[in-house]
A and B are shown apart, each in its own frame.
Chain A
Amino acid sequence: MNSKIIRKLGFPTLVFALALLPAFGVIGKGFTSHVLILILLNAAMAQAWNLIGGYGGQVSFGHSVFFGIGAYGAAYAVCVGGNAPWGGALAGIIIAAVVSVLVSYPCFKLKGHYFAIATFAIVEIFNRLFMVWDWIGGALGLDYPILKDSWKNFTWASDKTGYYYGAVVIFALVFAIIKYLEKARFGYYLRAVREGQETAESLGVNSTRMKLAAMALSAAVAALCGAFFAQYNYRVDPPTVMSLDMSMKFVLVAILGGIGTFWGPLLGALVLIPLQEYTRAYLAKLGSGVDLIIFGLIIILMMEFQPGGIMGILSAVRKKAIAARSQKPEGAR
């Protein structure tokens, strides 16, 4: 009963609390705000990946392509077009969804590891393509001019409150979509395809259509995150937004948190992002790469002892607690 209430109200309460945070003066200038924004953004990115990678069971390393298209959409509108980023971001989202369907359709004919390898290649293809495509800046990338702080431009010089609200909106939107899909017919079909494509098809589920729809939605959301990323960093270039490095961020956060679970992406981001940011900020002084060594070590330990991610740890702890509770009365007797 109790856990049911938490399951029902936990997410809206969290979003509400996040939205109220600036009222307490926590958000504004400074590093803490930066870390919070990155947590929310990365949680949203991982959740986007989780839709196809976790619920759909299609491990994609290609998400930086969609992320990059979104980032370029916003940046192109601002840097080349001289407009507000919104139209460009929307175009980027639509293009990303279309591209994802076009490239995934042949790739979905591959299974398991072969699909993953194909997505690796797709990232490389797009990376090279964007590197030599002068219309969008090529290897030079696109740099934002200095604009006035406003919601219209979606840039702020120092105060991060605007970015924070933006990140909360993206986070809430993405998680709400997944929350809805978990209970929707589409979500069940998708999980059925993951568990056994042939079985699902024999029961009348069109597996290709399910996977393509999930991929398109996942790509659109990834592109939205990309547009935010470009606005936040004032710059896009292929090595940053459209590379295997960026794809890894999608996958790593989701896997660390626990794939195919609702809270996994958030938990993964909650652990990984502060770890990444604070180790760099405070340990980089010690010398070259100490931060990266510690960061890597924690990930290795995590994967070694609990491949189910943080959600795996939590459910193991809960199982133990339940076992202990059910044993207690016997002992008392």
Chain B
Amino acid sequence: MKRTLLAVVAIVLLIAGAGAQDKVIKIGTLFPLTGSVATAGQRCQAAVETIVDIINGIYPDLDLPIAKKAGLLNGYKIELIKADHQGKPDVAKSEAERLYEQEGVFAVIGSYNSSASKPASAVAERLQKIFMCGASSSAALTERGLQYFFRLAPTDRIENVEFAHWIEELNKVKAAGIKTAAVIYENTEFGKHAADEAKVVSAKMGVKIVADVPFTPGATNLNSEIQKLKAARPDALFAAVLGADYSLMIRTMKQSAWKPKMAINYCGGYQDPKIAEQMGKDGWGFMGSAGYTPEFGSRFMKAVAPVEKYYKAKVGVPFDTEKVAQVLRTTTFDSPLSMGGKVQFGPDGQNIKAASVISQLQNGSYVTVYPYEFKDGDPIFPMPNW
């Protein structure tokens, strides 16, 4: 009898104990861990894991509010559930469903490829769950009127507006005389979108697009594409070219002995230090936007800190999607780790404080040239010859 009682007490204690310890928020990550953009996906994953370590552990040496103590909201630990969408939209959709329904995650962070983020976030919206989007640049993502979709990274459109300012600035300061431009882009959701935006912005600036050159990603040869560009003789080149295609483009440009006055790339190949290393001297002088860095994960997690404060003061039942979404929608978060300095989501879910800078490869390093408040060097213009 006594033994049974003891056993019952032990079980109750165990359950209670488990309950007390069980302060865990499950967060899903959904990135292309395999497939053609696996490197990028693995980096996104690593970034999120890094910041989760910082949140869950104690890092007194870091000057971040979330680093000083373990966990969030009086010790809630974050548990990451990892999923791989292989760069395929249909897999992204079914994995998002599995994460929310099977694994019971509170929110999903993902998904790098815009084409994967779309169906995955549609799942979130239908289930009324939060979807946090890091590096998917298609502006269309935040034009769908979703309630539970939030994106931190700047879109192609934001980058393009910045490119336009930059070109106007160059025309003014450096007497650059940029009157014509060409676009080269991979024929995918990302490339097509970036190129369309580039055309809109160019038209606004009065810069004439003289060549419009799509190519198939993973190409082994870009000769005819570069010849087309060369023949059109644009002053500036907008490129939406990723990874290995980017170094191929630059090699082919060198072989064809052609360089426009400036070449500027959307997120992707340009800012990958490995690619910069591969290209060596050939890459010097090329410019690009930098808004997606492996640190974006830390920027996102940083934004959670004020949510924590809000909850401490207000809510008894933690992690109500509606309430968290409300906080995300209405709060401006301090974000010392992000370029914008702050994070604030517009009604469409886009981070309206998202910023990116324009940098140029000079002597093997990325020199920030614009906007001026962030610059650490002057642009070399026009690009030095091969």
Contact A34 B34 (CB under 8 A): no
Would A233 and B93 count as touching, CB distance under 8 A?
A: yes
- Among the stretches B185-193, B200-208, B267-275, B318-326, the one at the interface with A is B185-193
Chosen A-B contacts, 25 in total, with CB atoms closer than 8 Å, are: A31-B101, A31-B102, A34-B97, A34-B98, A139-B189, A140-B189, A140-B192, A143-B118, A143-B122, A145-B144, A157-B127, A158-B127, A235-B90, A235-B115, A235-B118, A235-B119, A235-B122, A240-B90, A240-B115, A280-B91, A281-B98, A284-B82, A284-B83, A284-B84, A288-B42
Q: Which residues of A contact B86 (CB under 8 A)?
A: 280
Q: Which residue of B89, B115, B144, B187 contacts A131 across the interface (Cβ within 8 Å)?
A: B187
B140 with A140: CB separation less than 8 A: yes
Most buried by B among A128, A229, A284: A284
Q: Chain A: how many interface residues by the 8 Å CB criterion?
A: 33
B214 in contact (CB, < 8 A): yes
How many angstroms from the CA of A315 to the CA of B118 in the assembled complex? 46
Complex contacts, B191 vs chain A, CB 8 Å = 139
Q: Assess whether B135 is interfacial by the CB under 8 Å rule.
A: no
Find out whether the CB atom of A292 lies under 8 angstroms from the CB atom of B89: no
A132 located at the interface, meaning its Cβ lies under 8 Å from any Cβ of chain B in the complex: yes
| B125 at the binding interface (Cβ < 8 Å) | yes
Do B82 and A233 touch (CB < 8 A)? no
Q: Which residues of B contact A288 (CB under 8 A)?
A: 33-34, 38, 42, 84
- Cβ-closest 7 pairs across A and B: A157-B126, A284-B84, A139-B192, A289-B34, A235-B119, A233-B90, A31-B102
Question: Which chain B residue has the least Cβ–Cβ distance from A140?
Answer: B189
- CB of B146, distance to nearest CB on chain A (Å): 8
Decide: A30 and B34 in contact? CB cutoff 8 A: no
Alpha-carbon distance A234/B117, docked complex (angstroms): 12
Near B by CB (< 8 A), chain A positions 126-160 give 128, 131-132, 138-141, 143-146, 157-158
A281 neighbours in B (Cβ, 8 Å): 83, 95, 98, 102
| B330 located at the interface, meaning its Cβ lies under 8 Å from any Cβ of chain A in the complex | no
Q: Does B94 contact A (CB under 8 A)?
A: yes
Neighbouring B residues of A146 by C-beta, 8 Å: 122, 125-126
Q: A233-B90, A239-B188 provided; 5 other pairs, C-beta below 8 A?
A: A145-B144, A146-B125, A234-B119, A280-B95, A284-B33
Which bracket fits the contact residues of B?
Answer: 35 or more
> Is A111 at the interface (CB under 8 A from chain B)?
no
A132 is contacted by which of B118, B127, B214 (Cβ under 8 Å)?
A: B214
Whether B192 lies near A229 (C-beta < 8 A) is: no
A301 to B83, CA, bound (A): 27
Task: Give chain A nearest CB distance to B340 CB in angstroms.
Answer: 27
B174 within 8 A of A: no
Chain A residues lying within 8 Å of B122, measured Cβ to Cβ, are 143-144, 146, 234-235
Instruction: With both chains docked as a complex, state the minimum distance between the C-beta of A229 and any C-beta of chain B, in angstroms.
Output: 7
> How far apart are the CA atoms of A145 and B216 in the complex, in Å?
28
A33: min CB distance to chain B, Å: 10
Q: With the chains together, A52 CA to B332 CA distance in Å?
A: 60
Task: Give the Cβ gap from A108 to chain B, nearest Cβ, in Å.
Answer: 29
Which of chain B's residues have a CB closer than 8 A to the CB of A158? 101, 126-127
Task: Check if B126 sits within 8 Å of A233, measured CB to CB.
Answer: no
A237 contacts B82, C-beta separation under 8 Å: no
B88 an interface residue at 8 Å Cβ cutoff?
yes
Q: How far is the CA of A30 from the CA of B94 in the complex (A)?
A: 10
In the complex, what distance in Å separates the CA atom of A233 from the CA atom of B123?
9
Please provide the chain A residues from 8 to 46 with a CB less than 8 Å away from any CB of chain B in the complex.
29-31, 34
A254-294, CB under 8 A of B: which get 1 and which 0?
00000000000000000000000100110011001101100
Q: Which residues of B contact A240 (CB under 8 A)?
A: 88-90, 115
CB closest residue in chain A, given B33: A288
Q: Which of A140, A277, A291 has the most CB of B within 10 A?
A: A140
Residues of chain B lying within 8 A (CB to CB) of residue A34: 94, 97-98
